[in-house]
Chain A
């Protein structure tokens, strides 16, 4: 167990809807990153938050947005869901150093119908 939790575990939505996924951080971990993992592929970096500010973003459209709260927990919001958004969404937390180990949560499985 990494101490990082995510909710919900599974989620089913329909095209066009909006979804919010949540991630709790390990104590002392002020940096959180979100990844999307499509079936049979490796995770793809969505964005990273450090002390409540987004400080890095991968190749994802603006309908993917996030928040980080003062307790370093985080949310991933996806608007106008598309079928291709179906994936496992993983968050990872770490202490902020660039080479620090990242600790992943168990993921949220999102299915878009």
Chain B
């Protein structure tokens, strides 16, 4: 079973627009991570946010975490065609180590 769920399942935007995707999880976490996957290849780590953090930035990425709602969001600003990929959130629950992934959001950036 998957710990998290992403919303929406798919997103299509114009180049230059922002893309926002959300992730919900079920149990208390140590940290939550976001990954990108291009065309069924390996996962690329984007950002890690710890349970005591509320917001984190990395380049054009902004991640928020709301532990009271057990949810996180990933914002990609000023999207580019190269951002076309599937995005996954993965949580690490307390006293555990494995990544529990959601089903992902497929983002298509149109030129």
Contact = CB atoms under 8 A, between A and B. Distances in A.
- A and B co-occur in one complex: yes
Interface of A: 2, 4, 6, 33, 35, 39-45, 48, 56, 58-59, 88, 90, 92, 98-99, 101-107, 109
Given A42-B88, A42-B104, A106-B41, A101 B98 contact: no
B42 A45 contact: no
Contact of A43 (B30, B43, B45): B43
Contacts of A104: 35, 42-45
> B1, B41, B43 — which one has the most chain A CB atoms within 10 A of its CB?
B43
B71 interface: no
A101 B48 CA distance: 8
A45 B2 CA distance: 10
B93 to A, nearest CB: 11
Nearest to A59: B1
Nearest to B89: A42
Interface string B39-52: 01111110010100
A69 B13 CA distance: 45
B99 A45 contact: yes
B43 A90 contact: yes
22 contacts: A2-B44, A6-B42, A35-B99, A41-B2, A42-B90, A42-B101, A42-B104, A45-B98, A45-B100, A48-B97, A58-B98, A90-B43, A92-B43, A98-B30, A98-B97, A101-B45, A103-B45, A104-B35, A104-B42, A105-B42, A107-B41, A109-B40
